[in-house]
């Protein structure tokens, strides 16, 4: 089997997580890294034994010799770097949020469709063990039809700094950074329905950032389910950590973090709890294994010529929801998608 060659653009927090994931795969070789800051790139290269180092994605692509580009740069670079690679026939794993807006996400999808190079959007919670335990319970019908969900993408008493808080680099704030996780988890657990309409209030209340730090979103889905999603940085409290989601079905209740089901029996006036036994609080809320599974899945899609999910279609729906939420908040009305 041919070894696939992966390169990384961006050498910050999440790029290191992806580089560690790459080390777990025997049929994947980390060959190159891109960053405009030579010092940061040299450190990354030394840590992961990567000799080929470039100041731009353009220079990397001109040199060739790679199969996959992992894009872990500030959000405003996701679309241009991903599109350049896709147009060169290189498969792309791009971090969330997929892009600055749905128009950019559309352009990425078109680039992937045109070249046939695959695109995975790193909605990483789809690769989490507990999320998938809950998904199996839902798919087995344990909760009946899911009527509503409530989810959170909130940092309690802290928030990011630097480019994350500047709209020209990040596009948006807590909604694009954290809310997108909660939106995608709700959609994944619901079976990827299309959104019909969105009502939202997206504001900056806890900081003086020029991006949002607080959001409440109401999403109506095809098929009738409703999701409420909260996004926040620096909140004094949240009902659950990142990606926590509660689901209310016709037959019962299910939730993530802590992960369990409550199945009422109305006749017996009893509630049975199904506890899969995961720890109440994880050592690492975002475990390395989740990212390992994500990259292993992407490599398997490339080898078996399968369309990755979450791919461009899923990333694009999330961007449409974010765009609609911002518009709804601006005009104070429900926005149809
Ligand atoms: N899925 C997740 O769990 C998760 C977690 C953290 C971050 N993210 C996403 O990953 C992306 C990166 O976040 P981060 O926390 O790693 O940020 P970071 O600030 O730690 O890293 C960003 C990196 O991009 C580099 N960079 C900036 N301009 C560049 C350019 N022109 N070319 C190449 N590199 C450039 C920076 O020097 C830095 O190394 C963001 O989109 C963020 O939303 C996802």
* Ligand 1: centre distance to CA 10 (Å): 6
Q: How many folded domains does the chain comprise?
A: 2
Helix, strand, coil shares of the chain, percent, nearest 5, are 40, 25, 35
Atom of ligand 1 nearest to the CA of 44: 39
Question: What is the best residue among 15, 16, 45, 72 to mutate for testing ligand 1's pocket, by most ligand atoms within 8 Å of CB?
Answer: 72
- The answer on pLDDT for 1 being more than 90 is no
pLDDT tier at 281 (50, 70, 90 boundaries)?
A: confident
Residue 116 is classified by DSSP as: -
One domain, residues 162 and 186: yes
One domain, residues 267 and 158: yes
* Ligand 1: centre distance to CA 146 (Å): 35
One domain, residues 180 and 327: yes
Atom of ligand 1 nearest to the CA of 177: 43
pLDDT digits (tens, 9 = 90+) for 237-266: 999 898 999 999 999 999 999 999 999 998
Can you spell out the DSSP letters for 164-184? GG-HHHHSSSHIIIIIHHHHH
Interval 109-133 mean pLDDT: 98
One domain, residues 181 and 327: yes
Residues with CB under 6 A from ligand 1: 9-15, 34-37, 40, 72-75, 77, 95-96, 122, 124, 177, 286
CA–CA–CA angle 131, 134, 138 (5° rounding): 135
pLDDT digits (tens, 9 = 90+) for 141-194: 999 999 999 999 999 999 999 999 999 999 999 999 999 999 999 999 999 999
One domain, residues 44 and 167: no
- The answer on pLDDT for 18 being more than 90 is yes
Q: What is the CATH number of the domain that holds 65?
A: 3.40.50.720
- The answer on pLDDT for 218 being more than 90 is yes
The β-bridge relationship of strands 195-203 and 335-336 is: antiparallel
One domain, residues 194 and 329: yes
One domain, residues 240 and 118: no
pLDDT tier at 40 (50, 70, 90 boundaries)?
A: very high
One domain, residues 112 and 260: no
Task: Tell me what pLDDT residue 151 has.
Answer: 98
One domain, residues 106 and 166: no
Q: Look at the block and give the residue holding tokens 């049975």.
A: 272
* Ligand 1: centre distance to CA 322 (Å): 20
One domain, residues 274 and 137: yes
Could you tell me which of 236, 196, 241, 215 has the C-alpha nearest to residue 336?
A: 196
* Ligand 1: centre distance to CA 232 (Å): 19
Number of Cβ within 10 Å of residue 193's Cβ equals: 18
Q: What is the CATH number of the domain that holds 329?
A: 3.30.360.10
Q: What is the pTM of this model?
A: 0.97
Strand order in the sheet with 195-203: 270-274, 260-265, 253-255, 245-249, 146-156, 226-235, 214-221, 195-203, 335-336
- Compute the distance between CA of residue 184 and CA of residue 215 in angstroms, rounded to an integer: 15
- Compute the distance between CA of residue 217 and CA of residue 200 in angstroms, rounded to an integer: 4
One domain, residues 156 and 57: no
Q: Which domain holds residue 297?
A: 4-125+290-310
Interval 89-114 mean pLDDT: 98
Q: How far is CA 335 from the centre of its chain?
A: 23
* Ligand 1: centre distance to CA 73 (Å): 4
Please state, for a pLDDT cut of 90, what percent of the chain lies above it: 97
Positive or negative CA dihedral for 36, 42, 46, 51? positive
Could you tell me which of 59, 63, 103, 107 has the C-alpha nearest to residue 87?
A: 107
């Amino acid at each position: 089997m041919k070894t696939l060659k992966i390169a990384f653009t961006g050498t910050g927090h999440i790029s290191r997580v992806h580089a560690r994931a790459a080390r777990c795969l025997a049929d994947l070789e980390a060959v190159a890294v891109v960053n405009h800051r030579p010092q940061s790139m040299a450190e990354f290269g030394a840590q992961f034994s990567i000799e080929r180092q470039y100041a731009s994605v353009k220079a990397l692509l001109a040199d060739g010799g790679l199969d996959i580009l992992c894009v872990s740069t500030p959000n405003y670079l996701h679309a241009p770097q991903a599109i350049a690679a896709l147009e060169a026939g290189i498969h792309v794993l791009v971090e969330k949020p997929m892009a600055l807006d749905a128009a950019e996400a559309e352009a990425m999808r078109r680039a992937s469709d045109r070249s046939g190079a695959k695109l995975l959007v790193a909605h990483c919670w789809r690769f989490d063990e507990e999320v998938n335990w809950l998904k199996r319970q839902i798919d087995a019908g344990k909760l009946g039809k899911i009527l509503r969900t409530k989810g959170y993408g909130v940092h309690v008493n802290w928030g990011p700094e630097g480019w994350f808080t500047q709209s020209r680099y990040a596009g948006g704030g807590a909604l694009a950074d954290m809310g997108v996780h909660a939106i995608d988890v709700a959609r994944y657990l619901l079976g990827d329905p299309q959104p019909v309409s969105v009502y939202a209030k997206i504001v900056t209340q806890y900081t003086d950032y020029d991006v949002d730090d607080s959001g409440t979103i109401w999403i109506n889905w095809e098929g009738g389910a409703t999701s409420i999603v909260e996004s926040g940085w620096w909140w004094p409290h949240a009902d659950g950590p990142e990606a926590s989601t509660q689901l209310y079905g016709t037959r019962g209740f299910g939730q993530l973090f802590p992960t369990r089901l409550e199945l009422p029996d109305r006749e017996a006036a009893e509630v049975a709890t199904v506890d899969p036994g995961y720890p109440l609080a994880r050592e690492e809320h975002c475990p390395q294994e989740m990212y390992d599974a994500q990259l292993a899945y992407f490599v398997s899609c490339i080898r078996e010529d399968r369309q990755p999910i979450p791919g461009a279609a899923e990333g694009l729906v999330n961007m449409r929801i974010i765009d609609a939420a911002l518009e709804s908040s601006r005009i104070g009305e429900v926005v149809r998608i």
